[in-house]
Amino acid sequence: MEKTYDVVIIGSGPAGLSAGLYAGRARLNTLILEKEKAGGQIVTTEEIENYPGSIEDPTGPKLIARMVEQVDSFGVERKTDEIKEINLEDKIKVVKGDKGEYKAKSVIVATGAKPRLLGAKGEKELTGKGVSYCATCDAAFFQDFDVYVIGGGDTAVEESLFISKFARKVTIVHRRDELRAAKSIQEKAFKNDKIDFIWNTEVKEIKGDGIVESMILRNRETGEEKEIVANEEDGMFGIFVMVGYIPQTELFKGTIDMDDRGYIIGDENMNTNISGVFVAGDCRKKSLRQVVTATSDGAISAIQAEKYIENNFGE
């Protein structure tokens, strides 16, 4: 007889693992599917200071390893497979991957979001080594250092204001000649003595031996290039890339309701517009995307999935 899981969780970042932990503890027959490796974005984070209790070995990989160990201890199945096709409207949900087909009474979508990259040479190599995509996570590490924020929208300017509480100086580098952020946010940035601006400019290359030491900027109007070099005493500077995130929700377009940016819409109980389908983590429309909110989403989604199964399958 073909197996039908109680819960299939798509994604194994903090949201998916938290959902798996709660589902496993509830003795639900649970499967977590991940296309690559467990952890999501957090496995590229060297230090985590803002996750409660993460004091000893506070690195992304160590935190995820502990989460995975917890999930495994409750008998949750984990498989590596990339999902290519879904049927979520029927009572028994079906997700199909490269390696197999999986049936479930409920599904939790925890596919996350990825930062939009600049595409500059050296960017990937120096991510987590001076290049960051999260001011809330990493701004404190740049206390009294120079920081460059790449972008000109609401997030870039808001995060620049936040980073200015820590950094010696913040320079916003924007590819246009004016900011796209709301006027009220712009006014705060222009009034901040610690924030400067470089206009009509893009990052061509980020350089450094294991840490950000310099970057090459290119003026989009003149084509002129110049190299920004770290202060000799500091030996490094920070680069915060704030040009947007890409929710990993393409598979669900046309099936699950989303906002205009592709984030899945869920209520406070993580319900989507489809009965028995829940959402958790960074792929969800919400105001704060952090490990702590992802794990909260995961816990809620699993508890709600348990209630859904009890009410709809008589268990």
- Is residue 315 pLDDT above 70, yes or no? no
Question: 4-115+245-313: which CATH architecture?
Answer: 3-Layer(bba) Sandwich (3.50)
Q: CA 144 to CA 129: how far, in whole Å?
A: 17
Q: What is the pLDDT of residue 48?
A: 72
Q: Looking at residues 282-304, what average pLDDT do you find? A: 95
210-216, Cβ contacts within 8 angstroms, sequence gap of 24 or more: 210/129, 211/126, 211/129, 211/130, 211/235, 211/236, 212/126, 212/129, 212/130, 212/131, 212/236, 212/237, 212/238, 212/239, 215/120, 215/148, 215/239
pLDDT band of residue 51 (cuts 50, 70, 90) is confident
Catalytic residue, chosen from 6, 81, 134, 283, is: 134
Cβ atoms < 10 Å from Cβ of 2: 6
Q: What pLDDT digit, counting tens, does each position of 159-201 carry?
A: 999 999 999 999 999 999 999 988 999 999 999 999 999 999 9
Q: What is the pLDDT of residue 57?
A: 72
Unique residue bearing structure tokens 């200071």 = 49
Q: Looking at residues 52-80, what average pLDDT do you find? A: 88
pLDDT band of residue 47 (cuts 50, 70, 90) is low
Residue ranges of the chain that CATH labels 3.50.50.60 = 4-115+245-313, 131-241
Q: 18 vs 91, 186, 280, 303, 305, CA distance in Å?
A: 24, 38, 10, 11, 13
Catalytic residue, chosen from 137, 282, 283, 297, is: 137
Looking at domain 131-241, its CATH superfamily turns out to be FAD/NAD(P)-binding domain (3.50.50.60)
Q: What is the pLDDT of residue 1?
A: 57
* C-alpha distance across the termini of the chain, in Å: 19
Better-scored residue on pLDDT, 65 or 279? 279
0.95 exceeded by the pTM?
no
Q: Looking at residues 210-233, what average pLDDT do you find? A: 97
Q: What pLDDT digit, counting tens, does each position of 240-261 carry?
A: 999 988 999 999 999 999 999 9
- Is residue 102 pLDDT above 70, yes or no? yes
How does the average pLDDT of the chain come out, rounded?
A: 93
> Taking CA 246 as the corner, what is the angle to CA 150 and CA 34, rounded to the nearest 5 degrees?
130
Q: What is the pLDDT of residue 19?
A: 98
Catalytic residue, chosen from 57, 72, 90, 138, is: 138
What is the three-class DSSP state of 271? strand
Question: 283 an active-site residue?
Answer: no
pLDDT band of residue 129 (cuts 50, 70, 90) is very high
Q: What is the pLDDT of residue 61?
A: 83
Q: What is the pLDDT of residue 11?
A: 96
Better-scored residue on pLDDT, 38 or 216? 216
Q: What pLDDT digit, counting tens, does each position of 22-45 carry?
A: 999 999 999 999 988 777 776 666
Q: What is the pLDDT of residue 130?
A: 96
Q: What pLDDT digit, counting tens, does each position of 9-19 carry?
A: 999 999 999 99
